[in-house]
Chain A
Amino acid sequence: MKNTFAVEIQGLTKSFKDFKALNTIDLNIKHGEKVVICGPSGSGKSTLIRCINGLEDFDEGKISISGNPQNPTKESFVSDFHIGMVFQQFNLFPHLSVIENLKLGPMKSLGLSEKDAETRARKLLERVKIPEQALKKPNQLSGGQQQRVAIARALCMEPKLMLFDEPTSALDPEMISEVLEVIVDLAREGMTMVVVTHEMGFAKKVADRIIFMDGGSIVEQNSPGMFFKKPQTARCKKFLKQILHH
């Protein structure tokens, strides 16, 4: 297992109608690696990570998850190598309490007993530092708390890979750090992760590699040190200048 990649992408191409959202993407992600993806709006960042877990089908190319080739249209999301996902808009289930949000996946798709699911959920609420909110409904929580619940909900499935799609973009500035802290902790524990974000401080801290996308292609990738010090392309330079000066 360790000699395969967690994610192997070759020649991935995807169009919406006649608009090419992804253009022959090649990307390999090692087990335990933390990859940060950035790039201007519409560059295909979301589409790329949504292809990885099958929320989006693709036209050409190959994606293998831990050595297993994926179908362009994935019918089952349950596997030994589960992929968790955290969305920009949280997407918590508003009719369920926090703890029920967490228990639903383990009980219904992993077949855990109510008791085991409850234990697991409580543990994860501790880990994202909101054990006292278990019985509240999502919209009774702050944005930062909601996103931490969403992270806990994903972790309840014991994923081997976590995808984050701009997890802090919908948050008020003062709540960003509490969410990033949770993700940093997760990174420290060795989780393989792909994070789409424009939080460059966070990227410097946890990323093994930063990828810059534009126009559906990977334009540049490098270690954080080199990425910020010596951006190779004009597009990347311009992008960095824009986001670092805001």
Chain B
Amino acid sequence: MFRILILFFVFFTLGSCSSPEGTWGWYVIDPSTKAGWTNIKFLVGGFYSTILLSIIAAFLSIFIGLVVALPAMSDNKLLKLFNRVYVEFIRSIPLLPMLFWVFYGLPVILKSMGIDANIDAFWGAIITLAISDSAFTAEIYRAGIQSISKGQTEAAKTIGLNYYQTMRYVIMPQALRRILPPLANQFIYIVKMSAFASVIGMQELTRRANEIVVTEYRPLEIYTLLIFEYLILVLLISFGVRYLEKKLGSNESANS
């Protein structure tokens, strides 16, 4: 469906190249020419890194977020404080400085601790995206879990369930429906923010676009394509999430 939409848009804008004042130069990504086809293959090749980067970062963020969120619900003041400090601190750091800090700074710290770890662009980007996003996923978990009434936890206690069992069998299954949509939103955010990985040399969609722009000097066309590349990814995620939500929703339609 959206493929048709894109074709339509492309033809429409292509049409304007023929106008005398037109500044379009779609030849750079014209698949019918050899050079154009090479460029397209190079640009589209960035999907692999962008997708892999985003998925790994999202999974890490979902995990770290949970680990950060659970202490917020404890009665222990110190654990609560840990949650607050982590969330407030991490979410206040802009992504780019954090990326530089992880990529250029973290290896120095590790080295001073005697660990000779080389953080490549791929993992540098993943660590940054995961940590920066985890502050937001943590808040999503917290809101979702706290929206489940206290009576549920109390009922679970009175039938002898421990903390883990209460979370696993009573709270999480109910909270998940409320957590999933905003979590998907975060995944879209990660996909888009993965573009920052380009500045440390990660060969993902944006980096590849930049490289072609430099050699061809056709920013408008190439960045237009780039935008559509992200659009496709985000739409795919949206469809996937809608499907998942429907499945979860119909399973638990008997829920209050």
Interface residues of A (CB under 8 A from B): 53-55, 76-78, 82-85, 87, 89, 91-95, 104-105, 108-110, 136-140, 150, 153-154, 156-157
Contact = CB atoms under 8 A, between A and B. Distances in A.
Contacts, number: 74
B252 A109 contact: no
B160 interface: yes
A77 B157 contact: yes
Tell me whether chain A's interface is mostly helix, strand or loop, or mixed. Answer: loop
A110 B160 contact: yes
Interface of B: 149, 151-152, 154-162, 165, 169-170, 173-174, 252, 254-256
8 contacts: A55-B154, A55-B157, A85-B158, A104-B169, A104-B170, A139-B255, A153-B159, A157-B160
Contacts of A53: 158
Contacts of A105: 159-161
Q: Which of B154, B158, B252 has the largest count of A CB atoms less than 10 A from its CB?
A: B158
A140 B255 CA distance: 9
B254 A91 contact: no
B165 A84 contact: no
Contacts of B161: 77, 104-105, 108-109
B169 A108 contact: yes
A124 B178 CA distance: 33
Contact of B256 (A54, A94, A153): A94
Given A109-B161, A154-B159, A157-B159, A94 B154 contact: no
A108 B156 CA distance: 11
> What are the 4 tightest A-B residue pairs by CB atom distance, in nearest-first order?
A105-B159, A109-B160, A137-B254, A91-B155
